[in-house]
Amino acid sequence: MKGSKFIFFITLGFVLISGNVFAQELGRILSLDNAIPTYHYINNKGKKKKKKLEFVDHTYYKLGYYDEHKQSLWVAYLLTKEIVNQNNSVRSNRFRIDRKISTLSATSSDYTKSGYDRGHICPSADMSFSQDAQDITFLMSNISPQVHSFNAGKWKQLEEKVRYWAKENDSIIVIAGPILDSIIGKIGKNNVSIPYSFYKIIIDISYPDFKAIGFIMRNEKLSEDLIYYSVSIREIERRTGLDFFPKFNDNCAVQELETKSWDWGLKNSIKKTETIKTNKPKTNAKKAKKGN
Kindly report, residue by residue over 204-250, the tens digit of the pLDDT: 998 888 899 999 999 999 999 999 999 999 999 999 999 999 999 88
Is the pLDDT score of 9 beyond 50?
A: no
Is the pLDDT score of 286 beyond 90?
A: no
- pTM of the full predicted structure? 0.84
For 91-140, write each residue's pLDDT tens digit.
Answer: 989 999 999 999 999 999 999 999 999 999 999 999 999 999 999 999 99
4-28 burial, b for 16+ CB within 10 Å, e for fewer? eeeeeeeeeeeeeeeeeeeeeebee
User: How far is 171 from 84, CA to CA, in rounded Å?
Assistant: 10
Q: Which of 9-23, 148-162, 170-184 has the lowest mean pLDDT?
A: 9-23
pLDDT of amino acid 276: 38
Name the pairing type of β-strands 62-66 and 54-57: antiparallel
pLDDT of amino acid 111: 98
Among 2-11, 40-49, 70-79, the range of highest mean pLDDT: 70-79
Q: What are all long-range contacts of 264-267, with beta carbons under 8 Å and residues at least 24 apart?
A: 264/227, 266/227
Which H, E and C letters describe the chain, residue by residue? Answer: CHHHHHHHHHHHHHHHHHHHHHHHHHHHHCCHHHHCCEEEEECCCCCEEEECCEEEECCCCEEEEECCCCEEEEEEEEEEHHHHCCCCCCCCCCCECCCCCCCCCCCHHHCCCCCCEEEECCCHHHHCCCHHHHHHCCEHHHEEEECHHHHCCHHHHHHHHHHHHHHHHCEEEEEEEEEEEEEEEEECCCCEEEEEEEEEEEEECCCCCCEEEEEEEECCCCCCCHHHHEECHHHHHHHHCEECCHHHCCCHHHHHHHHCCCCCCCCCCCCCHHHCCCCCCCCCCCCCCECC
Burial degree of 161 (CB within 10 A; 0-12, 13-18, 19+): middle
pLDDT of amino acid 10: 42
Is the pLDDT score of 60 beyond 60?
A: yes
Domain 31-275: CATH superfamily is Extracellular Endonuclease, subunit A (3.40.570.10)
Longest dimension (CA), the chain: 80
- What rounded mean pLDDT belongs to the chain? 85
Q: Is 93 left (phi over 0), alpha (psi -120 to 50) or beta?
A: left
